[in-house]
Structure 1
Amino acid sequence: MQIYHHFLCPFSKQIAILMSELDIAHIKIEHQFWKPNPEFDSLSMWGERPVMIVEDTVIVGTYPCFEYILAETDNKYLLSSDLITLTRIRQVANWFNKHFYEQVSAHIIHEKLVKIFSTREYIDTSIMRLAHKNLHEHMLKMSAIIDMQGYLAQDDLSYADLVAASHLAVIDYFGDINWSLYPKVKEWYCLIKSRPIFRSNLEGKITGIDPSKNYLKLDF
């Protein structure tokens, strides 16, 4: 099994982490998603990420990859055999992969990464202000849920938490989270960040863009 992956892509990050947590063997193929890549484009018609290859089958998109893993593994750790709980996990994953990404992650990644290497344009401060405003609203919602039950979809760690943490890790690389404003989320993120598999997926550096001072710290 292969997955086109980059440590600053929240979609491939979450699927790679899930497979590692479930002991599913896989090989990462580095995909610098801001660069033209005819090989990748031939697999993903709309440039959607991630792309996973299982034998001769190409699986495109976060949810098809997730559903394939769910169907293929008997290990329900981080998932659930209970339909209602699994539905909540899917709902939280959708929250981050759709709404959080569109309102926060996509803006920050485009302004602070894609523009630097592709368009060479200046950062649009109005877009960054909007992203930070949206981030604050999402973080407050996360804080309330975590304060109530400890995690995002249930009272224990699940795939939903890995999805959310994958998005936060990407934007934290660029230093766009004021963690002091969200102590509950910070505590939750530190727990996930301390997991060896998650921590190993933080490794990486973009030439010319240093990670924030807290990016790799387990206690900050």
Structure 2
Amino acid sequence: MNSSTQTTRLYHTMLSPFCRKVRLVLAEKKIEVELVEERYWENPPDLKRRNPAGKLPVLRYRGNMLAESQAIVEFIDETVPNPSLMPKSPAERHEVRRLCAWFDDKFNAEVTRPILEERVWKKITRAGYPDSRAVKDGLRAVKEHIDYLASLLEARRWLAGNSLTLADFTAAAHFSCLDYISDVDWDRSEMVRDWYATIKSRPAFRPILADQVPGIQPAPHYAELDFG
């Protein structure tokens, strides 16, 4: 098969913010993709062949096997330029990358990973009971992050500026995982809630809102566009 006609295929897991970020960007660019769910915790033999780091997501696209979510979405944005999700100026692109790193590093370490590990992955992998202290620490930290986003949105239409960028999809990917299990205090900031409601209403978000993780029911408001 010619590499240009190969099916675009994403190896992913549903409640991973990194996988969701790639799914959102592919959908925003209107790129059809075949989703392949990987139980990465079982160390599937082909995972390290696709990505030596043994991490998801991995995207097969136009004959390339792509790894690392930020590298993947920037590759997609450069190869499918419309709609553009990166600004033109170096300073604006820096701000987008800074916020992507904020969520994928700081927010993930303080909020997404500890909450999902305790409330979701321990249940799925049968790895014991949740550590309530870790969950409480994550819930306390998310409030601080919401306050920070509110301070950004006081002067901006979107997180990195006045246009929708990869920063918004990165943040929304993390929040959507937490919102699935109802762990976001949306009443803390009307601006942040409205920002999420706006991005959540985009057609690119529909497949994310249709996710059903076996054994874990989504929050009642999860798929509602006018929550809150």
Do the two structures share a fold, i.e. TM-score over 0.5? yes
Partner residue, 1:157: 164
Among candidates 12, 16, 28, match of residue 9 of structure 1: 16
The correspondence of residues 1-220 of structure 1 with structure 2, limited to 5 A, is 1-220=8-227
Matches of 1:97 and 1:24, distance apart in 2: 23
Preserved CA contact (<8 Å) 1:34 1:114 = no
Letter in 1 for 2:153: I
| Bigger shift: residues 70-79 or 175-184 | 70-79
Question: How far apart, in 2, do the equivalents of 1:50 and 1:62 lie?
Answer: 6
Q: CA RMSD in A?
A: 1.7
Deviation at 1:35, TM superposition (A): 4.0
State how far apart, in whole Å, the 2-side matches of 1:176 and 1:66 are. Answer: 26
Find the aligned partners of 2:97 and 2:127 in 1 and give their Cα distance. Answer: 37
Give the Å deviation of 1:80.
2.2
Deviation string, structure 1 residues 170-189 (Cα, Å, up to 9, x no partner): 01111111211121111110
Tell me, yes or no, if the aligned pair for 1:34 and 1:117 is still in contact at 8 Å.
no
Give the Cα separation in 2 of the matches to 1:215 and 1:54.
30
When residues 46 and 203 of structure 1 are mapped into structure 2, their CA distance, relative to the original with a 3 A threshold, is same
CA contact (8 A) 1:7 1:203 kept: no
CA distance in 1, matches of 2:77, 2:28: 13
> Residues 2 and 54 of structure 1 are in contact (CA less than 8 Å); yes or no, is this contact kept in structure 2?
yes
Moved over 3 A (4+): 32-36
Asked if 2 retains the 8 angstrom alpha-carbon contact of 1:15 and 1:65, the reply is yes
C-alpha distance in 2 between matches for 1:138 and 1:186: 13
CA shift for structure 1 position 26: 2.7
Q: Which moved more, 1:196-205 or 1:105-114?
A: 196-205
* Runs (5+) with no aligned partner, structure 1: none
The separation in 1 between residues aligned to 2:100 and 2:222, in whole angstroms, is: 22
Q: Across the two proteins, how many residue pairs are aligned to each other? A: 220
3-state DSSP class of the match of 1:127? helix
Q: Relative to structure 1, is the Cα distance of residues 54 and 200 closer, same or farther in structure 2, using a 3 angstrom cutoff? A: closer
Distance 2:34 2:170 in 1: 20
Structure 1 residue 55: deviation in Å? 4.6
One-letter amino acid of the structure 2 residue matched with residue 136 of structure 1: K
Structure 2 residues without counterparts, runs of 5 or longer: 1-7
CA positional deviation for 1:141: 0.2
TM-score (norm 2): 0.89
Name the CA distance, whole Å, in 2 between partners of 1:25 and 1:204: 17
Q: Which amino acid aligns with 1:179?
A: W
Distance 1:186 1:165, change over 3 A: same
Q: Identity of counterpart residues, as a percentage? A: 27
- Inter-partner Cα distance in structure 2 for 1:68 and 1:206: 29
Structure 2 counterpart SS, 1:58 = strand
Moved more, 49-58 or 193-202: 49-58
C-alpha deviation, 1:42, in angstroms = 2.9
Bigger mean CA deviation after superposition, 13-22 or 44-53? 44-53
Q: Which amino acid aligns with 1:103?
A: E
TM-score, normalization by structure 1: 0.92
